Amino acid sequence: MIDKYFEPFIIGLTFEKRYGREQIKWIPYSQFTNINEIARGGFGIIYKAIWSSENETVILKRFENSKNIEKYFLNELKSYQHCSNSRIIEIYGFTKDPKLKDYILIMRYASDGDLHKYLQKNFTNITWNKQKLHILWQISEGLETIHNKKFMHRDFHSGNILFDSTNNNYDKNYQWKIGDLGLSQAVNNKSSYHEIYGVIPYIAPEIFEGSEFSQESDIYSFSMIMWELTTGCKPFSNIKHDVQLICKILDGLRPKITEDTPKCYANLMKKCWDPNPKKRPSIKKIRLTFGGWAFKGKNEAKFNQAETKRMELITSKTIGPEFAEKHHSEAIYTSRLLNSFISEYSSINLSLSSTISVSNSKQGYDHNYISTEQDFDIDIESLPSQNLSLSIQNSLSIH
């Protein structure tokens, strides 16, 4: 029986009543009709359906067969329980397909789709001095809720940020919500699955080098969402998402900042995508910054100027999703298992290091001589990174 998984000693906390809704509960599968597949993700299939007894359109998230699927299913339930908030998409309950025996979560249906689809449809009307700042403030509030609960999202991208314009008196100011907490986990909980899922452009570079996911890696993902708001396009959509892109990101490649982006916004975005996780701002600081811009008029003149420039660029067909470079057929924006890419990068990096070591030995360097910072004050990070990227690409072409 699936009910055994919801004993308090497994879940940790009982599911409480939240925001006028009944507690998360078991819902018979027979109550769902008009079930239609709308998407596929890393762990299963997403369906749109009608919940007959409530006469409400809902989302069904089916967890397909996997050796760890019970853990992932329970993990998502725990994450929603701990992080439940009006900025997080609401979960109603759970069920089980009697034929396929797969577990299913029942969630609120966001009537207007995800952030990327919203940008595709409405980019021209999403202004600097209003919509962009409000959207990012709401998103930062949602992520702050997760971080305040000592959790991290781990799969934060525009496809997991949902817009719901169906409002009631309580919820009228809460339109942008964060969804898909399937990979979320507590900060002090080291990953036990040894699997890296995600979308390459949104994953912090340190993850590709073996670091654990962290709240700081969520901040890197947030920077890509900030950039997406400026262009209406997903980052690196014109590039194949493979180990070569990973190498370039580790070499410092970031999306090109648009001409209309205000300097204050660009500076915050660059801090969020800093290669050093410790230099990235906290989500609280980000939320306060956007709150100051959106509601207190800070840098208002700069954002008004940016809006004027943005309209000029749209008129000249310089920015906007319809004027973007052609989408690469192997630019993948659904979360997928990335361990093979990371292993390939590690092998290439190890091979390159060995080659450099052998080359140094053959050139007869005097290893007894040690250069100190006092002798040569060289900033290694300021040296061109293209050489490393070129070496890795050469290595790839050999293989």
Residues 216 and 335 in one domain: yes
Please indicate, yes or no, if residue 149 is contained in any of the structural domains.
yes
- Written as six digits, the tokens of 208 are 């590709």
> 63 has which bridge partners?
44, 103
Nearest to 146, CA basis, from 200, 220, 218, 203: 218
Task: Choose the final residue of a domain: 339, 362, 384.
Answer: 339
Nearest to 273, CA basis, from 205, 218, 223, 201: 223
CB-CB contact of 24 with 92 (8 Å): yes
Please indicate, yes or no, if residue 388 is contained in any of the structural domains.
no
Residues 79 and 150 in one domain: no
Helix (H, G, I), strand (E, B) or coil at 319: coil
CB-CB contact of 132 with 229 (8 Å): yes
Residues 231 and 313 in one domain: yes
Please indicate, yes or no, if residue 190 is contained in any of the structural domains.
yes
Domain, as residue range, for 71: 11-108
Distance CA 316, CA 183 (A): 41
Please indicate, yes or no, if residue 352 is contained in any of the structural domains.
no
CB-CB contact of 334 with 41 (8 Å): yes
Question: What is the pLDDT tens value at each position of the chain, 399 positions in all?
Answer: 444 554 443 344 444 444 444 467 889 999 999 999 998 766 678 999 999 999 999 999 887 655 556 666 777 777 767 777 778 888 888 888 898 888 888 989 988 889 999 999 999 999 999 899 999 999 999 999 999 988 888 899 999 999 987 655 544 444 899 987 766 665 666 555 567 889 999 999 999 999 999 999 999 999 999 999 999 999 999 999 999 999 999 999 999 999 999 999 999 999 999 999 999 999 999 999 999 999 999 999 999 999 999 999 999 999 999 888 889 999 999 888 899 898 888 888 766 665 555 455 444 444 433 333 333 333 333 334 444 445 444 544 444
Residues 211 and 251 in one domain: yes
Please indicate, yes or no, if residue 358 is contained in any of the structural domains.
no
> 106 has which bridge partners?
60, 93
Nearest to 333, CA basis, from 198, 148, 172, 218: 198
- Written as six digits, the tokens of 35 are 């079930």
Task: Choose the final residue of a domain: 56, 77, 108.
Answer: 108
Nearest to 114, CA basis, from 209, 27, 45, 39: 39
Residues 213 and 335 in one domain: yes
Cα within 13 Å of Cα(59), Cβ side: 22
What is the DSSP annotation of 137-184? HHHHHHHHHHHHTTEE-SS-SGGGEEE-----TTTTT--EEE---TT-
Domain count for the chain, please give it.
2
